[in-house]
Structure 1
């Protein structure tokens, strides 16, 4: 849908405007909030002053209705853009956040986010209503990036973060924020949201009632720096407060977090949105239960600094304006506090250009069709290639420069859409799985593909349309499909037809949709079958009138829950499949496992091959946000074990025993303890969830079309034995900074197809107290390649300090034989340390520096990264830094 310029101007809702064009005063009789010569806050104050109390209360929720009498369009604040425009149909899908962090490349990150913001603008324009209103997953307020520290590999949402280090997280986040928000001096292109503030990284199963008490040092050194950086340096426009409590007070009611730190110490002038249901956690008895009176609980949140409440339909907790009205009327919530929140919200909407003429806006040249373009897909592929981490390459098995005669492609992730996109994703228009990529890159090789196993159980495939019947005699193929315009299969269907199989491409108008398929299934063989609907919302499958699997009320989380039933060959059974969705989530369909699907055929394929590529790992259906997974090693979206799931491990060992050259490709969002593979498989590639074109990136890496240069943003531990309990938020023995044991692959690790040498490290203290550190880096191998230069600091002799800390990094490109000097300038904050009381200061003493392609650590079978060391000494008195 494309709205005319005249309609946009009349509706007072449009994308942003150029500074010099927005200077004319409002026509006579126009209210001040439409006067583009005034500053945005003054305009917002005027608009809010004209609202009734009831209107104000309704504007404080994430679904803000229109106010026609004031020409205020409706607006839904909820939109997702973790690694591309999410849940709004076809869009360019970049690698999952953890994969983009693995690039260690701020320039690529900014470029990717710029493309993403272009597509947000295009989607917004395409979906605007005639009055200028925009709905769920259609707006310009982007609830990304997730900058929580990935402190523990068990956390299922760690894939959404930029890893375990505050410096890497802050730098990557600011590049992303800059691309999302744009560079216009007056208007936002979109508004980014740093989340979840603060001290939030699992477990998922208890996130609504957890109360964390990190030490003063851990809070200042680990949990808050990235938030501070995105506010002060990144100028992020929005912050999302977390579900959990901090020091006994819910994050969304914490004056310490939102007033003292965020606004007073850091100077934040944007708005705070609650995580969905976060405000309700203040008063819910089954959550934090901080203030059980709902009216008082909501008032506490607003007084502490939250500005807009996201309701939570998953828990039947929505924004209730009556609570806000009652709070004001009874004096619990001062009207000036509510007005303060609304002024912040409408200032943000005005900075987005929603109350200015469309044609005057700096983004007016972006059309409604500018999404998932060939140019954008090409950039997604570049990002995916940059994210690949070569973990092991024994005997230089890779690259495979001569096409093998026959390749066996095995494993549950080889032809998986799920493992391209991770979670919080859009729908790539032309997704390329690893199998697709290998077929394209090795067209002359015979490629034999077999799953061999599922992620955590038997392998799954689409249910054959040939076994589905519209009548009991099986004379007509297909199932009767009934489509409903709600999520509960209620009322009269909007459409009824016979469809080939339970499959749906959720349509752009399907914001709240459900479907029921009914008919019959003819069993092709006798035995036990598994059924599941490949959906991201709820589903049910009934066979012979009995429930096989019911996953109806989970909500947003994708599921892999399946159920079993026994069928007899040739017998015809009634079947009913039901599913619902909110938002637009792409293709979804019925899958099964038949009795004869085993790993034996995969092992035989390996035996007949010249090269085996095993593609395994995880997916966002077994690691993610508050989800149900009934399998060993998983709980509530998190993991209780970090090794490769047993069905995959068993098949990998059988395949490796065949004795053919084998490459293990891991697709996952968190660290995997692939200890056996490290000892027995010659080549291991970490591909993350690599986005819509990810299959090409994997195949081209294997073929040697480019040299891998991704680096791990998290530590790959050997096991969980040395880590504290998941619920323990102490950083003791966590991450590369504090973990004292031997790890499988260290933070910052990544191999290359070439070699690098570091020499002549120099540290120079400048007159302003900063330090410039330089080193010469040479490509000494036989291939052009990127290198990630990492600078680590350590403070010998200073008690209770990290083993080492990342201070700076730079991804550079070096041609074969090229040498370049790389330099970094470290300011006082870079040089500071934090004591037990949480005081950050520059303290005198020796500083040891390491500049290299990774950390200076090694173990049997894994050499230390190339690099060079130097040191300098800080002199003078202790200099305390501001919070």
Structure 2
């Protein structure tokens, strides 16, 4: 007889109403309800004790429905106990027969879990993660993740492969768009907020998803910005700069980790026992489940650390890879490895324990159908307009926009006259969604052209010309369309470049102002889309230069998923907005900012280089012995002599339609005692004529330390809304913990001595004061 009489809901499930049993699997839920006791480990131990080796290995397989395995075959595999979960099946109607196969046909009736890449929205698409980070608003980041979870859970999804928290300091990397930028502190804050939003009060709740932090680890540091490449990095840099965001997401309660595709110091992450066991589980105490990235176990052969599938499976399971995603190595190799004694069954049991534990924490043993429901309650139209959260998407997009230039107060535009809306990304409903847009539908997104027309309806006129293709390079177009397996995303206008530019110039001359949308198609800022150039494609540069000759006010709207080298644009645009990929309501949000219904408040979470030769150009680089100092001779200092040193736009930069002043820093004491606190405060004043928000940023520089330390490090920030003429004191506490770092022995310490404390509105323009840690 099954040992279920002592089982009950896990801690945290009490706040989630238990849905009425819907299948034979209700035996778990019925006994849980009857006893009123909670013993997660007893249930798991009982199941492991009754599972065959093949059933255990089945729990370690994550399969994608589709060409890889059509639904009829997948149902048979599930019923036979050979699949533990799926990804990319994203509706209740798709998932119900799969769960039925698990809990009605399989021997032990262990529920499935269903996962999806819900990164920056599900049916409602919010700005890409880089855009959300530009808001510097953690409440907003959490809110967008919460809405994403509610929408995805309503479609029968249990887990998301998000947040993506890889530190990215090389914008050539296409996946820069998926992350939150270059800074450990800001990315860590975004990681915490995202996990909290996705999981809510508990990942077991019917409107929550379990978060899988990814990609563990160091994926954003791939050599040359080339996707899937190698990483060679000192432990000190790992601990100081690249590992904190993963740790922050796990400390916030994330139940899962997705493993990176790159190698680390010669060992692929998928076979890296130090990474997955010594660091993740032993040092950090992680108790959740790990999953490989797509096909990564098989890729150990191409990495050259395994000579065959048997070795690959053995390396992965020994390293600590619980779930194998989208390959057959575990299925094919683990049975013989265990039977031969090459892999102890205890390793398999450990992995199964984590998988079952994750399912328990998702609430699936209490009710496998808690997110799927019954067929009678399925939405008549999964893409129905009523299922979207448009107001929240518009709010998020507004706050993600960064004002880079605004000469002679070109913006905000007046809601009158004629506005020429031009550019290859002006009417691009699919591109405005950005990469990894989950279940978002391009037909439901608002393009910039539509947003401008809606804003000027009955007040002014919008005139339109495409002006150029995103690129005229046929090779690039072919590559981008190959990446999209559904249908071509980059559709070329068949007219010649000259014809398109001539039409755009005629249109612009008939307007009072020009708004031109340029940048990258979404496929250009995507997985496997690393670039050797960060400039606008030649077709777009030619368009901008032609429009400049008209003499009309030129407003450049950038749409992109990485920093670009926009030197000409900086010098020649009358105004310029960085809008990233703004999501479902992007067109309305951009129009709100252009016409002044929203005062832009975004700040850059990444530095913009002047040229690709400057990379990396992150703000918190280590100090050096011969630094370049502006205004002093450049010879024999660390700089490039062909162009001005420093970024084109620094980390934390962003303008407003109003202006702000920051007072000198006031310190409560010039000395900080161990276990004590001093307070640093400034007065911020709105000195302009518009109400507006800004982000007050707090940085610290360690003047002298046992190892070389960064020129400055972000340690805090506050977003503040001020009316014209209003002032407010902003205070930052400084403790010993604020000053800690990893020394050469990987000890987390704060060393005595002097520190420069900096407060300002971006990383380059700061006030400074000095204090001493005793």
TM-score by length of 1: 0.72
Residue 190 of structure 1 corresponds to 209
Change (3 A) 1:361 1:743: closer
Shift of 1:323: 1.1
Matching residue of 1:342: 352
1:363–1:174 CA distance, 2 compared to 1 (3 A): farther
Q: Is the 1:452–1:602 Cα contact (8 Å) retained in structure 2?
A: yes
Residues 1:710 and 2:602 aligned together: yes
Q: Which of residues 742, 745, 751 is equivalent to 2:646?
A: 742
| CA apart distance, 1:816 | 2.6
The answer to whether the Cα contact below 8 Å between 1:184 and 1:362 also exists between their aligned partners in 2 is no
**Does the 8 A contact of 2:469 with 2:492 survive in 1?**
no
Query: What's the secondary structure of 1:123's corresponding residue?
Result: coil
**CA–CA distance in structure 2, aligned partners of residues 258 and 384 of structure 1:** 36
Please state if 1:753 is matched with 2:657.
Answer: yes
Which whole-Å CA distance do the structure 1 matches of 2:507 and 2:370 have between them?
Answer: 62
1: CA distance, partners of 2:579 / 2:617: 28
SS of 1:169 mapped into structure 2: helix
Matched, 1:440 2:454: yes
Cα offsets for 1:360-397 (capped at 9, x unmatched)? 99999xx8659864772101110000000000111111
Q: CA deviation at 1:689?
A: 0.2
Distance (Å, rounded) in 2 between the aligned partners of 1:21 and 1:613: 51
After superposition, residues 119-130 of structure 1 pair within 5 angstroms as 119-124=151-156
Q: Does 1:327 align with 2:314?
A: no
Looking at structure 1, the residues matched to 767 and 261 of structure 2 have their Cα atoms a distance apart, in angstroms, of: 44
* CA deviation vs aligned residue, 1:29-69 (integer Å, no higher than 9, x gap): 96799536232232122222222111111210113253634
User: 1:625 aligned to 527, 545, 560, which one?
Assistant: 527
Aligned match of 2:682 in 775, 785, 790?
775
Structure 1 equivalent of residue 712 of structure 2: 804
Does the C-alpha gap of structure 1 residues 700 and 374 become closer, same or farther in structure 2, counting only changes over 3 Å? farther
CA positional deviation for 1:143: 0.2
Q: How far apart are 1:297 and its partner, in Å? A: 2.1
Residue 873 in structure 1 maps to residue 772 in structure 2:
yes
TM-score normalised by structure 2 residue count: 0.82
Residues 81-480 of structure 1 aligned to structure 2 (within 5 Å): 81-85=118-122, 91-124=123-156, 139-184=157-202, 189-201=208-220, 202=222, 207-208=227-228, 210-232=229-251, 234-282=252-300, 284=301, 287-311=302-326, 317-318=327-328, 320-357=330-367, 373=386, 376-400=389-413, 402-425=414-437, 426-428=439-441, 430-443=444-457, 444-457=459-472
What is the rounded CA distance, in whole Å, between the counterparts of 2:720 and 2:214 in structure 1?
30
Q: Is the 8 A contact 2:673 2:773 kept in 1?
A: no
Q: Is the 8 A contact 2:623 2:710 kept in 1?
A: no
CA distance in 1, matches of 2:203, 2:503: 61
**Following TM superposition, by how much is the alpha carbon of 1:812 offset from its aligned partner in structure 2, in angstroms?**
2.2
Moved more, 704-713 or 414-423: 414-423
User: Which region of structure 1 is more displaced relative to structure 2, 419-428 or 152-161?
Assistant: 419-428
Helix, strand or coil at the partner of 2:504: helix
Aligned to 2:464, the other structure's residue is in SS state strand
Distance 1:739 1:394, change over 3 A: farther
**SS of corresponding position for 2:246:** helix
8 Å CA contact retained: 1:92, 1:372: no
Separation in 2, partners of 1:713, 1:824: 20
* Matched pairs, number: 690
| Residue 506 of structure 2 is aligned to residue 604 of structure 1 | yes
Higher helix share: 2
Shift, 1:623, TM fit = 2.6
| CA 1:368–1:31: 2 relative to 1, 3 Å | closer
CA distance in structure 2 between the partners assigned to 1:31 and 1:691 by the alignment: 41
1:13 deviates by 14
Is this contact kept in 2: 1:62–1:78, CA < 8 A?
no
Structure-2 separation of matches of 1:446 and 1:829: 56
Q: CA offset at residue 214 of structure 1?
A: 0.7
Say yes or no: does 1:58 pair with 2:58: yes
Quickly say closer, same or farther: Cα 1:802–1:407, change in 2 above 3 A: same
1:603 alignment partner, SS class? helix
Unaligned runs of 5+ in 1: 1-11, 86-90, 125-138, 312-316, 459-529, 534-548, 559-579, 582-586, 627-636, 858-863, 876-883
Q: Structure 1, residues 448-493: CA drift from partner, whole Å, max 9, x if none?
A: 21111111128xxxxxxxxxxxxxxxxxxxxxxxxxxxxxxxxxxx
- Cα distance, 1:217–1:771 mapped onto 2, change above 3 Å: farther
Instruction: Tell whether 2:609 aligns with 1:683.
Output: no
Which of 530, 538, 542 matches 1:650? Answer: 542
Deviations 1:631-674 (A, max 9, x none): xxxxxx11101112111011100110111111000000100111
CA distance 1:74–1:31, change in 2 (3 Å): closer
Secondary structure, in 3 states, of the residue corresponding to 2:297?
helix
CA contact (8 A) 1:664 1:685 kept: yes
Structure 1 pair 237–702 and aligned structure 2 pair: CA distance change class (3 A): same
1:138-161 superposed Cα distances (whole Å, 9 cap, x missing partner): x31100111111110111110000
TM-aligned CA deviation for residue 412 of structure 1: 0.8
8 A contact 1:122–1:368 mirrored in 2: no
**Does the CA contact (< 8 Å) of 1:251 and 1:257 recur in 2?**
yes
Q: Determine which of 684, 696, 700 is the counterpart of 1:793.
A: 700
Report the equivalent of 1:491: none
Q: Which residue of 2 aligns with 1:475?
A: none
Rounded to whole Å, the distance in 1 between the matches of 2:723 and 2:466 is 39
Alignment of 1:826-845 (within 5 A): 826-845=734-753
Equivalent residues of 1:671, 1:714 under 8 A apart? yes
Shift of the 589–642 alpha-carbon distance from structure 1 to 2, 3 Å rule, reads closer
Q: Is the 8 A contact 2:166 2:215 kept in 1?
A: yes
Question: What does residue range 534-549 of structure 1 map to in structure 2 within 5 Å?
Answer: none
Segment of structure 1 superposing worse, 754-763 or 842-851: 754-763
- Shift of the 19–606 alpha-carbon distance from structure 1 to 2, 3 Å rule, reads closer
Q: 1:674 to 1:84 in 2, by over 3 A?
A: same
1:823 to 718, 726, 731: 731
Are 1:221 and 1:834, in contact at CA under 8 Å, matched by a contact in 2? Answer: yes
How has the CA–CA distance of structure 1 residues 397 and 20 changed in structure 2, closer, same or farther, with 3 Å as cutoff?
closer
Q: Is the 8 A contact 2:270 2:296 kept in 1?
A: yes
1:493-539 per-residue CA deviation (whole Å, 9 max, x = no partner) reads xxxxxxxxxxxxxxxxxxxxxxxxxxxxxxxxxxxxx8999xxxxxx
Aligned residue for 1:563? none
How far off is 1:832 after superposition?
1.4
Q: Secondary structure at the match of 1:114?
A: helix
**Pair 414,242 (structure 1): closer, same or farther in 2 beyond 3 Å:** same
Deviations 1:428-459 (A, max 9, x none): 4631111111101112322221111111128x
What displacement does 1:190 show? 1.1
Q: What is the deviation of 1:181?
A: 0.6
Distance in 2 between residues matched to 1:41 and 1:322, nearest whole Å: 29
The alpha-carbon distance between structure 1 residues 695 and 318, as it changes in their structure 2 partners (threshold 3 A), is farther
Q: Call closer, same or farther: CA 1:193–1:293 in 2, change over 3 Å.
A: same
Q: Is this contact kept in 2: 1:532–1:590, CA < 8 A?
A: no
Instruction: Tell me by how many angstroms 1:739 deviates.
Output: 9.5
In terms of fraction of residues, the more strand-rich structure is 1
Task: Point out where structure 2 has 5 or more consecutive residues left out of the alignment.
Answer: 1-7, 64-82, 85-101, 629-636, 640-644
In the aligned structure 2, how far is the partner of 1:264 from the partner of 1:654?
60
